[in-house]
Structure 1
Amino acid sequence: MKILLIHQNFPGQFLHLAPALAARGHEVLALTDKNNSRTAPVPVMRYDHKAQVVDPGQCRLGRNYTQMSDRGVTVARACLRWREDKGYIPDVIFGHSGWGETLFLKEVWPEAKLLVYAEFYYKGRGADVGFDPEFSPRTFDQVLIAQGRTAHLGQSLLHADAGLSPTEWQASTYPPALRRNIEVIFDGVETDRLKPDPTAAVTLPNGRVIRAGDEVLTFVNRNLEPYRGYHTFMRALPDVMAARPEAQVVIVGGDDVSYGQPPKEGKWKEIFLSEVRDRLDMSRVHFMGKVPYPTFVSLMQVSRAHAYLTYPFVLSWSMMESMGAGALVVGSDTAPVREVIRHGENGLLVDFFDVAAWSRTLTEALAHPERFTALRQAARQTVLDRYDLKSVCLPRTVDWVESFGPK
C-alpha cells in the first residue's frame, strides 16, 4: 500500500519505521519542511513554509493555533497540488501532530486513513505547567495559556482515524474522549547497539580518557535547562564532588532552550554553573556540548551513575537508551520516569527538588557500584522485555500501521 509519513524534521520518530515499512513492500514516501537537511531513509517530498509574524496582542490565546494552522495550510496546499498534478493518493498517512502538519489532510485525501503521532497534550494542571515554581509560577493565566496551546492537538486527533503515543503517561495527558483513540507503543531502543561494553572508552575535551569501571557521573540532555533538571543536578554537584574526590563528571547538552522559557539574560548553562563554580573542582567537570551518537553510546557504557531529571513532560529517549546500555539511572520521581523505573528494582528515584537527596544518592552510587549491579541488569532487562526496537516496538508499530490499510 501507499504510505505517506509527515514530519517537519523527518525522519524524527519515523527513523526506523520508514525503512521497515518499505522493506515489507509498501510504497513509502515522506513529506517534510524544505529547510530540513537531515538524511532520510525513504524518498522525500518537501513543502516550502514561510512562517508569518504573529502579533500576540491581536491573537492572544490563539497565537499558537495561528502558527500551527498556518503550517497546516501550507502542507494541505502542497498536498492538494501533489494530488492534482501527480494523482498521488496515499492509503495511509502517518504524521506528527505537534506542528499542525496533519490538520487539514482529510480535506485533501478523505479516502485515506489518517494516523497522528500524539506525543503530548498540554495541561494547565498535573504536568509541566506550574511544576517548578522557581521558573513556572502557578497562576491561572498559565493554566489558560496551556489550555490554549492544545487547540491544534485536539483538532489533529479529532479528525484522525487513530493516534499513537510513546508512553502511557503521555497518552494520559489527552482528555478521555481523545485518549480512547490512542495506542501506546514506544519508539524503541536498539539494544544490540545500546548494551554493556566493558571495553568502552571516551576521550574528554582535555584529552583524558575515561573507561568502563572508572568513577564517572553523567548527565545528558539535548540542552541544559530547567525542564530537564539541570539546576537541581548542578546544585547537588558540590557535595558529590567533595565526597568523591576521584569522580569525573561528564555533562552533555547544548546552550539553547528546547522547552520552557529562556532566561532573561545569558544561558541556563552558565547561570547555574555560576551558582556553584567556586565549590567545584572544575578540572573534574567536563562539559561536552552536543556529541555524536556513538560518543553518547560509549558514555552510557562508561557511566557508573547516570542522573536523569525531567518535569512531568515528554520522556527523553536518552533515559531509555542509558538503561539499555546497562547504566545505573538515578531518575527524578516524576510520573514519566516512574512509568519505567521502579525504585530499588531497576534504578533509583529521587524527589526532583530535593538537592540534598540527590547529593546523597549520587554519592552512594559512585562509592558503592557493587551494590547496584542487580539494578543495572534489571534496567537492561526492562528495556529488552518492553522497549526493544526489533523484537517489541517496531513489529508492533508496523502491525498497527498496516492494520489501517485496504482490506
Structure 2
Amino acid sequence: MDQEPLHVLWIEPSFPGRLGAMADWLVRRRGYRGWFFCHTAEPREDWPASAGQGLEVQTFGVGGVAREASVTWSRTLERSLCYSYGCWEVLESRRPRPVDLIVGRSAMLGSSLFAPVYAPSPPRVGFFDYYVHARANDLADEDAAGAPAAYSRWRRSVNAIDLLDLESADLPWTPTRWQRHLYPREYRDPMWVQHDGVATPRDPSAVLDARAGQPRRTLAGRTLPEGTRVVSFAARTLDRLRGFDRFWTLANAILRARRDVVCAIVGGPVVERGLDVHHHGKDYAAGLRAEAPAVDPERTWFLGRCSRATTAEVLSASDLHIAPGRPYPVARSLLEAMGRGCVVLASDTAPHREVITPGRDGLLADPGDPDSMLAQALAVLDDPDGHRPLGEAAAETVRSRYSREACLPRIAERFAELAASRRRG
C-alpha cells in the first residue's frame, strides 16, 4: 500500500532507545522524515544509519530537581515535570516543521506531555511500557517487608505522569496484552497492542543450518573448544528483576553437573532500575558472587555490557538461553535469542506465557522449584539435537509475530491511518 511519507516528531528519554529503530526503519524504508528529541544519547557508533540522513537527533536538558545526581522517591513527580518541560523548551527553540504525527515513549517521564503546547494539531501516539502496581509484579512481593516507607509511597504515585499521558494520547500503545492488562480498566479498550519488533538475522535459515552443523564457534573473541555447550544470560544490567540471582544459582548447578559448559553472561554490573530498591545503583552481581563464588571462574564469562553485534554473537552461539526474570515486560534479549533459534528456558510467568508455548517453541519452569529448572536445563544440554525443533519453532514465532519485518509495516499502516484521519477531520 503506497502512503505519503509522514513527518514524525519522536520523543524518548534516550536515543536510540526503544523508538529509534522504528524511526530508522520508517525513514529508510518508507521515506519518512523525523526529529528525535531525547534527554541523553548513546555513543554515535550505536546510532542507526538514518541519523543525520532524514532523522535529526536533538538532545534537551532538564531543570529543577532533575539536575540532582540523586532524586528521592518522593520527588519523582517533580523530576518528570522538569523533564517534560525541558523537552517543550527545546521544541520551542528549534521549532521542527512540518509535524504530521507525535510519537512519545512516556517511560514514566511524560516525554510528550507538553508537546501539544508546541504542536496542538498533529495526533499524538503514546508508547507505554509498564504500569506499576503497589503490591504486585516485579519485585513488589519479595521486597514489601523490608522496603523503606518512601519506596512504598513512590509505588503508589509513580504512575501519575503516565496517566496524564494516557488522558491526552490519541492512540495509547503498548507491546503486549499482559502490559495492557496492567493499566486501569477504563484505559484498556482503546489501547493498541502491537510489539515494536526486535532485530532478527537477515538469513534465518543460514543461522539454523549453522546450528545444525555445529561449526567451530567463537564467542566475544574467544574460541570455544569443540563440543562446548554454551549457556547464556543477557540483560541490560545484572539485576534481580531479570532474575540474575536465579540464573547464578542455576549456572553454578549446571557447572557442577557438566564439565563441557561455558556460561556467557551479558550485562552491565550496576543496577539501574529503581524497582530494585535494595540494590539500585550498586554492583549487585559482585555481592552475589562474593556470597556464592563461581564453581569454575574459567567457565564463567562475564562479558559486561556488550555491543548489539557481540550480544547477537553470544545468542547465536548459545545452546540454552536462560531468562528467569520476575513478572515484568518480556526482555528483548529473550525474543532475540528465540529469533536466532536458541532453546529458551524461562520462568513461568504471565508475560512469558504470552510469547512462549511450552514444549512447542520454548520451555517454562517454576522459579520456585530450582530442581525442576535444573532438570530441564540439563535435558537440553544432554540432547541439543533432540531439542533443536524448539529453537526452530521459536525462530518462526519471532519471525511471524515479533520481528521488525513483521511489526514495523503494521505500525507504519496504523500511523498513516491516524494521520490521514486527522487530516480528514
Q: TM-score, normalised by structure 2?
A: 0.85
Select which of 211, 214, 217 maps to 1:201: 217
Q: How does 1:207-356 map to 2 (within 5 A)?
A: 207-209=222-224, 214-259=228-273, 260-261=276-277, 263=279, 267-277=283-293, 280-356=295-371
Task: Tell me: CA distance 1:11–1:35, structure 2 relative to 1, closer, same or farther (3 Å).
Answer: closer
Task: Tell me: CA distance 1:314–1:136, structure 2 relative to 1, closer, same or farther (3 Å).
Answer: farther
User: Are the counterparts in 2 of residues 6 and 94 from structure 1 also a CA contact under 8 Å?
Assistant: yes
Q: Which residue of 2 aligns with 1:124?
A: 134
Select which of 151, 165, 182 maps to 1:156: 165
Structure 1 unpaired stretches of 5+ = none
Q: Which residue of 2 aligns with 1:168?
A: 177
Task: Tell me: CA distance 1:305–1:50, structure 2 relative to 1, closer, same or farther (3 Å).
Answer: same
- Following superposition, the deviation at residue 7 of structure 1 comes to 1.7
- Following superposition, the deviation at residue 153 of structure 1 comes to 0.6
**Larger mean Cα displacement after TM superposition, 326-335 or 300-309:** 300-309
User: Are the counterparts in 2 of residues 130 and 139 from structure 1 also a CA contact under 8 Å?
Assistant: no
User: Are the counterparts in 2 of residues 310 and 332 from structure 1 also a CA contact under 8 Å?
Assistant: yes
Q: Which residue of 2 aligns with 1:31?
A: 37
Supply the distance in 1 between the matched residues of 2:36 and 2:411 (Cα, whole angstroms).
Answer: 17
SS in 1 for 2:264: strand
SS in 2 for 1:9: strand
- Following superposition, the deviation at residue 318 of structure 1 comes to 0.6
Supply the distance in 1 between the matched residues of 2:145 and 2:242 (Cα, whole angstroms).
Answer: 14
SS in 2 for 1:263: coil
How many residues get paired? 397
Read off the aligned partner of 1:106 and give its amino acid letter: P
Task: Tell me: CA distance 1:72–1:308, structure 2 relative to 1, closer, same or farther (3 Å).
Answer: same
User: Are the counterparts in 2 of residues 129 and 136 from structure 1 also a CA contact under 8 Å?
Assistant: no
User: Are the counterparts in 1 of residues 197 and 402 from structure 2 also a CA contact under 8 Å?
Assistant: yes
User: Are the counterparts in 2 of residues 219 and 250 from structure 1 also a CA contact under 8 Å?
Assistant: yes
Task: Tell me: CA distance 1:210–1:222, structure 2 relative to 1, closer, same or farther (3 Å).
Answer: farther
Select which of 74, 97, 101 maps to 1:92: 101
Q: Which residue of 2 aligns with 1:3?
A: 8
Give CA-to-partner distance per residue, 1:142-161, whole Å, 9 cap, x none.
55421200000110111111
Read off the aligned partner of 1:273 and give its amino acid letter: R
1:68 aligns with 2:80: yes
- Following superposition, the deviation at residue 305 of structure 1 comes to 1.0
User: Are the counterparts in 1 of residues 315 and 337 from structure 2 also a CA contact under 8 Å?
Assistant: yes
**Larger mean Cα displacement after TM superposition, 302-311 or 4-13:** 4-13
- Following superposition, the deviation at residue 46 of structure 1 comes to 2.3
Task: Tell me: CA distance 1:48–1:389, structure 2 relative to 1, closer, same or farther (3 Å).
Answer: closer
Task: Tell me: CA distance 1:201–1:373, structure 2 relative to 1, closer, same or farther (3 Å).
Answer: same
SS in 1 for 2:391: helix
User: Are the counterparts in 1 of residues 62 and 87 from structure 2 also a CA contact under 8 Å?
Assistant: no
Give CA-to-partner distance per residue, 1:270-309, whole Å, 9 cap, x none.
12122321x6022211111122222222221221111012
Q: Which residue of 1 aligns with 2:378?
A: 363
Q: Which residue of 2 aligns with 1:111?
A: 121
User: Are the counterparts in 2 of residues 32 and 47 from structure 1 also a CA contact under 8 Å?
Assistant: yes
SS in 2 for 1:344: coil
Q: Which residue of 1 aligns with 2:58?
A: 46
User: Are the counterparts in 2 of residues 4 and 29 from structure 1 also a CA contact under 8 Å?
Assistant: yes
User: Are the counterparts in 2 of residues 2 and 90 from structure 1 also a CA contact under 8 Å?
Assistant: yes
SS in 2 for 1:72: helix
- Following superposition, the deviation at residue 310 of structure 1 comes to 1.6
Supply the distance in 1 between the matched residues of 2:358 and 2:89 (Cα, whole angstroms).
Answer: 50
Structure 2 unpaired stretches of 5+ = 1-5
User: Are the counterparts in 2 of residues 224 and 256 from structure 1 also a CA contact under 8 Å?
Assistant: yes
Supply the distance in 2 between the matched residues of 1:343 and 1:80 (Cα, whole angstroms).
Answer: 51
Q: Which residue of 1 aligns with 2:3?
A: none
SS in 2 for 1:115: strand
**Larger mean Cα displacement after TM superposition, 142-151 or 194-203:** 194-203
Q: TM-score, normalised by structure 1?
A: 0.88
Supply the distance in 1 between the matched residues of 2:418 and 2:339 (Cα, whole angstroms).
Answer: 31
Task: Tell me: CA distance 1:185–1:200, structure 2 relative to 1, closer, same or farther (3 Å).
Answer: farther
Task: Tell me: CA distance 1:63–1:333, structure 2 relative to 1, closer, same or farther (3 Å).
Answer: same
User: Are the counterparts in 1 of residues 147 and 277 from structure 2 also a CA contact under 8 Å?
Assistant: no
RMSD between aligned alpha carbons? 2.7
Supply the distance in 2 between the matched residues of 1:71 and 1:232 (Cα, whole angstroms).
Answer: 35
Read off the aligned partner of 2:285 and give its amino acid letter: K
Supply the distance in 1 between the matched residues of 2:184 and 2:177 (Cα, whole angstroms).
Answer: 13
Task: Give me the identity figure in percent.
Answer: 25
- Following superposition, the deviation at residue 35 of structure 1 comes to 5.6
Supply the distance in 2 between the matched residues of 1:169 and 1:176 (Cα, whole angstroms).
Answer: 13
User: Are the counterparts in 1 of residues 271 and 279 from structure 2 also a CA contact under 8 Å?
Assistant: no
